[in-house]
Amino acid sequence: MTHAVTLATIHAAAERIAGEVVRTPLVPSPTLSERAGAPVFLKLETRQTTGSFKLRGATNAVLSLPPEARKVGIAAASTGNHGRGLAHAAARQGLRCIVCMSALVPENKVAAIRTLGAEIRIVGRSQDDAQDEVDRLVAEEGFTAIPPFDHPDVISGQGSIGLEIVADVADVEQVVVPLSGGGLFGGIAAAVKALRPLARMTGVSMERGPAMQLSLAAGRPVPVEELPTLADSLGGGIGLDNRHTFALARDLLDEVVLLAEAEIAAAIDHAYAAEQEIVEGGGAVGIGALLAGKLTVSGPTVLVVSGRNIDMALHRRIVSGAWEETPCPA
């Protein structure tokens, strides 16, 4: 199948965003390498300017806007990190930016977006509710929507991570990527598979509402209830009218791993205690999959650590052993 996102669009995105985003470090993890019995590396998108990989795709999309779209402004639904990246990119270009979020988005992420100058709309209790407000802004006020994942410019921007991974670990055999709407996974996988066709692409999500995994199992995008989870940045559906990321995941995924909440907490704790990194739940799932024995590692493996924007009170509870799992609503 032909995809709108290709190695060429990813290279173009990487050139476009150079100087606007950080080329993040890729570092070996002695502790995880010892556990896996093979070299394990961490791609630290935690070191990105806004604390998350989302800045890459958001910046590429903003810089690709036609002049007429810049006059009104941009809007997006977000679980937090996309909104933060978009707010930063919009501010750099002097554009009006409205970010719509559900009531489930942690307050620390809402506050960070507001600090960057974006307008905030809290709508409902799901990404779908927030997206309804974005659709209204587009239809009634002329805003341009820049979605968090299902957009070729966004996906291509995230794909720049894949170029960096292959440049830094030329013999990479497996790349493990947090899996949600599929923008991060699709971009990285498109780049890695083009350059290293035999490399294994593994997606990791949480057991509570793994939208892409459930959609792939059904053979089509399906609605998914958004549930409270430590991996809050992976929450939300993939969109019933998904045009790009579902097909990329379907064609490029080799395996999906799902984690329980306690396994995500263990990953956050390990990242802090052993890797000296503050990592949010959604960013830590690759580490969690390895620690839980759910990854098969036979050669050089890169875990994409996608973000650091965790509520610090929650982080303290987890790393001090005071966190207790909240029962999932029936």
In a domain, 326, yes or no: no
For residue 329, name the pLDDT band (cuts at 50, 70, 90): low
Q: How many domains does the chain have?
A: 2
Q: What are φ and ψ of residue 305, in 5° steps? A: -100, 100
Partnered with residue 174 across adjacent β-strands are 200, 301
Do 98 and 223 lie in a common domain? no
Considering the domain architecture, whether residues 124 and 31 belong to the same structural domain is answered as no
Confidence (pLDDT) at 125: 87
| Residue 169 in domain | yes
pLDDT tens readout for residues 205-221? 999 999 999 999 999 99
Domain stops at, among 81, 110, 145: 145
The label of the residue with tokens 């291509």 reads 156
**Confidence category of residue 1, pLDDT binned at 50, 70, 90:** low
The parent domain of residue 85 ranges over 55-145
CA-closest candidate to residue 309, choices 274, 273, 276, 284: 284
Residue 194 lies inside a defined structural domain of this protein: yes
State the Cα–Cα distance between residues 128 and 18, nearest whole angstrom: 32
Q: What percent of the chain has pLDDT over 70?
A: 99
59: burial class by Cβ within 10 Å (0-12, 13-18, 19+)?
A: buried
Range 322-330 average pLDDT: 80
Helices 54-63 and 81-93 cross at an angle (nearest 10°) of 40
The neighbour count for residue 104, using CB atoms within 10 Å, is: 21
What whole-number distance in Å separates Cα of residue 48 and Cα of residue 21?
7
pTM: 0.95
DSSP symbol at 329: P
Same domain, 70 and 40: no
Same domain (yes/no): 220, 277: yes
Among 120, 145, 170, residue at a domain's last position: 145
Same domain, 171 and 26: yes
| Range 183-198 average pLDDT | 98
| Nearest-5° Cα angle at 249, 269 to 257 | 35
Q: Can you give the CATH number for the domain in which 131 is found?
A: 3.40.50.1100
Chain mean pLDDT for the chain? 96
Please give the average per-residue pLDDT across 51-70, as a whole number.
97
